[in-house]
Structure 1
Amino acid sequence: MSLTDQEVCIVDDDASVRTAVGSLVRSLGLRARLFASAEEFLAAGGAPDLVISDLQMPGMSGIDLLELLRGRADRVPFIVVTAFLQDGVKGRAIQAGAACVLGKPFHADALVGCIERALGSGHTHV
């Protein structure tokens, strides 16, 4: 599967972050779908190749979303971004199955590296 066949879902309650990450993802030749909440993402359905989610959002958090997907045996690669990278958050995200955890603000190349690693990891949906 080529990169252009792959879909990345971006879940973040901050519209400016969603738009910026979406633009970066598209610049890599990937398809991007943007969601303002975990609930909106879940309601949309589908099977993306990668999820990039904010940690702290109203309603369901990014970690809750990741844990819900893993509970459904969905192994979609998952990147967590957060402005609140306090002790324990990164460990909990990695333990839940996150491919990468980035603190905001982050450099575009750091996110690109996470995307490349996550999509190259061979994770598949079950």
Structure 2
Amino acid sequence: MPTKKPLIAIVDDDQSMREATRGLMRSLGFDAEAFSSAGDFLKFPDLRRTDCLVTDIHMPGMSGIDLHRRLVALGESIPTVLITAYPNGDARAHGLGSDVVGYLEKPFSEQDLLNCVRSALARGSDGKG
């Protein structure tokens, strides 16, 4: 029986960033789904199967930080990588709890993102199963 591929969800209102990140994750052998808003991700039928969330902090409507808080409030513990092009005021993101496994400033390297995703998957496998 084949093992299921980890599911990486990408939430970013920047279409080119979203598509590039999804393409990278798929090229590395992960399942990847991309969403243009936090609200779209919250409606995702496979939300509970998500192994890692990569989300932009600054988005119209619900921010990445608000999305993380909403997931915690819903009892969903999804290892999360926060990304931002505006790092100045985001020190508060570091205090969000153990589910936040990475914080990357755009532009970041593919390797940095991969390191964060691997850390998220390692953490998720410790707590699940």
Structure 2 length-normalised TM: 0.87
SS of aligned partner of 1:120: helix
What is the CA RMSD across the aligned residues, in angstroms?
A: 1.8
* Counterpart Cα distance in 2 of 1:40 and 1:105: 24
- Greater shift, 106-115 or 4-13, is seen at 4-13
Structure 1: distance between partners of 2:126 and 2:79: 6
% identical aligned pairs: 37
SS in 2 for 1:75: coil
Residues 14-61 of structure 1: CA distance to partner in whole angstroms, max 9, x if unpaired?
A: 110001100111111000001000011111232211110000001000
How many residues get paired?
122
**3-state SS of 1:44 partner:** coil
1:94 CA displacement: 2.7
Structure 2 distance, partners of 1:19, 1:50, is: 16
| Residue 80 of structure 1: how far off its partner (Å) | 0.4
Quick one: distance in 2 between partners of 1:86 and 1:3?
Answer: 41
- 1:68 equivalent in structure 2: 70
Residue aligning to 1:18: 18
Equivalent in the alignment of 1:56? 58
1:45 aligned counterpart, secondary structure: coil
How do 1:1-126 residues align onto structure 2 when only pairs under 5 Å count? 5-46=5-46, 47=48, 48-87=50-89, 89-90=90-91, 92-97=92-97, 98-121=100-123, 122=125, 124=127
Q: In the aligned structure 2, how far is the partner of 1:26 from the partner of 1:96?
A: 28
- Structure 1 segments, 4+ long, off by >6 Å, are none
Give me the TM-score of the superposition, normalised by structure 1: 0.89
Give the conservation status (yes or no) of the 8 Å contact 1:14–1:36.
Answer: yes
5+ residue gaps in structure 1?
none
Amino acid at match of 1:77: P
Residue 3 of structure 1: how far off its partner (Å) = 7.8
CA distance in 1, matches of 2:24, 2:53: 14
Confirm or deny: 8 A CA contact 1:10 1:18 kept in the other structure.
yes
